[in-house]
Amino acid sequence: MSELRIFFFLVVAMALISGCTALSPPKRSLHPIALPSGYALNTNGTAPLRAWWEALNSPELNRLVDTAFEENLDIRSSWARLRQARAAAVKSRAGLFPAVDTGLEASQTRTYRDYDLLADTKSSSLDLAASFELDLWGRVRSGYRADQLSALAAHEDVRAAAISLTGEVVDTWVELLAARQEMQVVQDQIHTNEMLLKIQTTRFENGMASALDITQQQELLANSRSALPPLQARERVAVNKLAVLLGQSDVHSISIRQHELPQPMPRPKTGVPADLLMSRPDVRAAYYQLRAADFEVSVARADRLPSLSLSARTAISSDDFSLAWGDWLTRLGTNFSAPLFDAGARKAEVERTRAVVDERLAEYTATVLEAIREVQDALANISGQEDRIAGLEDELRAAKQARDQARLRYLKGQSDYLNFVTQQRSVQTLQRNLVAARADLLSFQVALYRALGGGGGQEYS
């Protein structure tokens, strides 16, 4: 057994030596470029990022998001890719330890002559073999670290998928409610226009209105009726999309009772652009992928250098099947190999992995810039949309006053019915535009929360 002790101490010594000679990649900063100190627009806010959709105060929406987290097929695919990446890391880690194999063989041979038993031979053997590659240049450890970082990137991809899914569910829900609320506005307008048509018909029968007044009112009624079918189609399309997001094929299983848009959400704390490097999962995933590529370069560089592996084998044999083993065989071995000529294949692999690093660095920088742009765009859209809604509300108030004055002037005989119809059409158009504008504001707010890296939920943190 002294040979085994020597072998063991030799493995430990070489492993310690190899730890000092690894080809480690360079360290990198989280900041690939100089980041601005703040955003162009006001970033004050109070709402937390986690579960931000709960600020819309809709239990139905909360259930939709929870169901999507559980049943959405893209999320399931992301989880499967994460398990693959983690398993690959575990597989790489196995290279840091010796591989031990064992085998048991038993045989019995009988020799006959003229049906007489001449010999009955029994034998058995037990083999125990171990092999270990000394990681002289850190090739195995670098490969393991690269797979670890790939697994971290896969985990961030799950969080990114959850954030994207949350935004899509909320956006689709808002689209559904916007279609319903606009349909309600149109139905009210249809009812109003029908009532006005009846009044004009009665006035015509009494000689107080002309046929042109009736046709003008009929045109307004037809205009409002024609606006209803596209809205009904929008509602059905939104329900269909929700079913897909929730991983369901039966659209009838989607039950949304709410019909009106919720109030706008409070503006979240945006912090500074540098905060995106820690909060955005896509930015973090891009960084992990960059670092994984760095370690792949170390693997390729180490593959050009000599390798040394140790092996040990113990074989025990016996002439029968009993536990009283007879002969022992112990063998220790070393294997040293070094590349002499490969037509530049290993050198080309080093260059390829370095090019991958350059690609990942550019992708990481682009991801950071895109994250900052998305926040800036969302802030600009929210600010502009808030001003637009305020303008539409003022315009609608003025249009209602003009409509009422036009109707009064018509009844007094001071103007024709066309002025009233024109003002009524303007009021009804503004009412529908205001609903759409409020829905757009909610969508811009959703985009801001997504841009800030919110919406992954507790289980994806």
Pairing of strands 116-134, 327-337: unpaired
Angle (nearest 5°) at CA 316 between 315 and 319: 135
SS (H, E, C) 247-267: CCCCHHHCCCCCCCCCCCCCC
- For position 308, what pLDDT does the model report? 86
CATH homologous superfamily for 22-96+137-305+346-460?
A: Outer membrane efflux proteins (OEP) (1.20.1600.10)
Distance CA 357, CA 352 (A): 9
- Which residues, in sequence order, are bridge partners of residue 101? 129
> What pTM did the predictor assign?
0.84
Provide the edge-to-edge strand list for the sheet that holds 327-337: 99-113, 116-134, 307-318, 327-337
Distance CA 321, CA 183 (A): 87
* Long-range CB contacts (within 8 A, 24+) of 215-223: 216/417, 216/418, 216/421, 217/193, 217/417, 217/421, 219/421, 220/193, 220/196, 220/421, 220/424, 220/425, 221/190, 221/193, 221/194, 221/196, 221/197, 223/425
Contact between 14 and 22 (Cβ < 8 Å): no
Distance CA 357, CA 86 (A): 22
Distance CA 371, CA 273 (A): 9
Query: What are the sequence ranges of the domains in the chain?
Result: 22-96+137-305+346-460
- For position 184, what pLDDT does the model report? 95
Q: What is the DSSP letter of 268?
A: B
DSSP E strands, 292-430: 307-318, 327-337
Region for residue 62 given its phi and psi (left: phi exceeds 0; alpha: psi -120 to 50; beta: otherwise): alpha
Kindly report the number of other CB atoms within 10 A of residue 266's CB atom: 13
Distance CA 331, CA 4 (A): 9
Q: Which tokens sit at 351?
A: 């260059």
Q: Dihedrals φ, ψ of 125, to 5°?
A: -150, 150
Kindly report the number of other CB atoms within 10 A of residue 205's CB atom: 9
Task: For the chain, 461 residues long, give each residue's pLDDT as a single digit of tens.
Answer: 455 455 445 545 555 554 444 578 888 888 888 888 888 876 666 655 678 999 999 999 999 999 999 999 999 999 999 999 999 999 998 888 888 888 777 777 777 677 777 777 777 777 888 888 888 888 999 999 999 999 999 999 999 999 999 999 999 999 999 999 999 999 999 999 999 999 999 989 888 889 998 999 999 999 999 999 999 999 999 999 999 999 988 888 888 899 999 999 988 888 888 888 888 999 999 999 999 999 999 999 998 998 888 888 887 776 655 545 455 567 777 888 888 888 999 999 999 999 999 999 999 999 999 999 999 999 999 999 999 999 999 999 999 999 999 999 988 888 889 899 999 999 999 999 999 999 999 999 999 999 998 755 444 33
Pairing of strands 327-337, 99-113: unpaired
Q: Which tokens sit at 98?
A: 């010796």
Residue 73's nearest CA partner among 281, 243, 284 is: 243
Distance CA 385, CA 276 (A): 24
Contact between 264 and 174 (Cβ < 8 Å): no
- For position 291, what pLDDT does the model report? 95
Q: What is the DSSP letter of 449?
A: H
Per-position DSSP letters for 415-448, written without gaps between them: S-HHHHHHHHHHHHHHHHHHHHHHHHHHHHHHHH
Residue 188's nearest CA partner among 242, 263, 282, 259 is: 259
Look at the block and give the residue holding tokens 């999507």: 68
Distance CA 124, CA 320 (A): 6
Q: Which tokens sit at 163?
A: 């954030």
